[in-house]
Structures are given as structure tokens and as C-alpha cells.
Structure 1
Amino acid sequence: MNKPCARCQHPVYPLEKLDCLGQTWHKMCFYCEECETVLTVNNFKSFEKRPYCHAHCPKPNKFTSVLDTPLNLNVKQQSVNASEV
């Protein structure tokens, strides 16, 4: 039995099969979620197991932290002192 396509749920036959993102796709069903550009395994990006082109791939929220290390506290104090001059 052939696996169903991740997008259209129809059976995928070997000649039209594309295995990507842990799922099976028809070649024509593997397109960007936003602009519907047909993608290949060489030109896609994934976000939450869905294919996107490079232009429309959502950016994950990346947070940075500022640590209160002695060096950072010293730089902060120097900045405060310089602004008082």
C-alpha cells in the first residue's frame, strides 16, 4: 500500500514520491505554505514540519539574555559615569 501525501492525502506512487520532513509528498504538493512555489529538497526551509521557500520561512523567536557578570556590571557603571559628565 502506498503512503498518503502529507498535503492532499492521496496515495503517492513511487515515480512521484518525495520523502522530506519525515513525511511523504507528491512532488507537486511539496510547495511553500505562503506563496505556493513548488519546492525541491534542495531549496526549501522547514518550520514546524511544513515546507517554506527561503523568502517566506517564519523566523523563530530567539531571545538573548544579558548576564550580570562582573564585566557587564563594570561596563554598565562606566556607561552611567560617562553619561553624568
Structure 2
Amino acid sequence: MPNCPMCEKPVYFAEKKTSLGRDWHRGCLRCNRCNKVLNSGQHAEHEGKPYCNMPCYSALFGPKGFGHGGTESHCY
């Protein structure tokens, strides 16, 4: 039986969510920044940790600068 990556307790079949190639408890699959409960396949990951697609992942790892894309976003 696999252990949850967050709490390291056994994950039983009836309570598991599979994401990032591992099995999680439903309440343990949370954003690493804002702690929001996530759904399988509806989030991003960075270095094996789950993040909300918006705004957490974008704010931490997205493009930097004014406008977040387009001609005005370049940092000089």
C-alpha cells in the first residue's frame, strides 16, 4: 500500500487521488503556496510539489515583468 507524499500515512483505495505519479489522500493534495485543495489533473507542479494553476504557479514560476507577455513585458 503506498504512502501519501504529504502526510506519509497509508493511502487506502477508497480515499486516494492519483496525481504527479503518486497516490494522495483527498485532503492532502493541496497547493504548496496557498494550501487550497486541488483536483487531479487541474494543477501544475514544480519539483514534485503541486500548485494552483492560477495564481500561485503563475506568480512563482511564470514570466516576470510588466504585462506578463507581449511587447511591453521585457525587462532591461
TM-score between the two structures when normalised by the length of structure 1: 0.64
Q: Residue 6 of structure 1 aligns with which residue?
A: 5
2:31 equivalent to 1:32:
yes
Structure label with greater radius of gyration: 1
For 1:59, the equivalent position in structure 2 comes to: 61
Report if aligned partners of 2:19, 2:41 keep a CA contact under 8 Å in 1: no
Give structure 1 regions of 4+ aligned residues with deviation exceeding 6 angstroms.
Answer: none
**CA distance in structure 2 between the partners assigned to 1:40 and 1:33 by the alignment:** 14
Residues 47 and 40 (structure 1 numbering): CA distance in 2 closer, same or farther, change over 3 Å? same
Gaps spanning 5+ residues in structure 2: where? 64-76
Secondary structure, counterpart of 1:56 in structure 2: helix
Q: Which amino acid aligns with 1:18?
A: K
Unaligned runs of 5+ residues in structure 1 are 62-85
The structure with the largest helix share of the pair is: 1
Q: CA RMSD in A?
A: 1.6
Percent of matched pairs sharing the same residue: 33
For residues 22 and 42 of structure 2, what CA distance do their matches in structure 1 show?
Answer: 17
Distance apart, 1:42 and its partner CA:
3.7
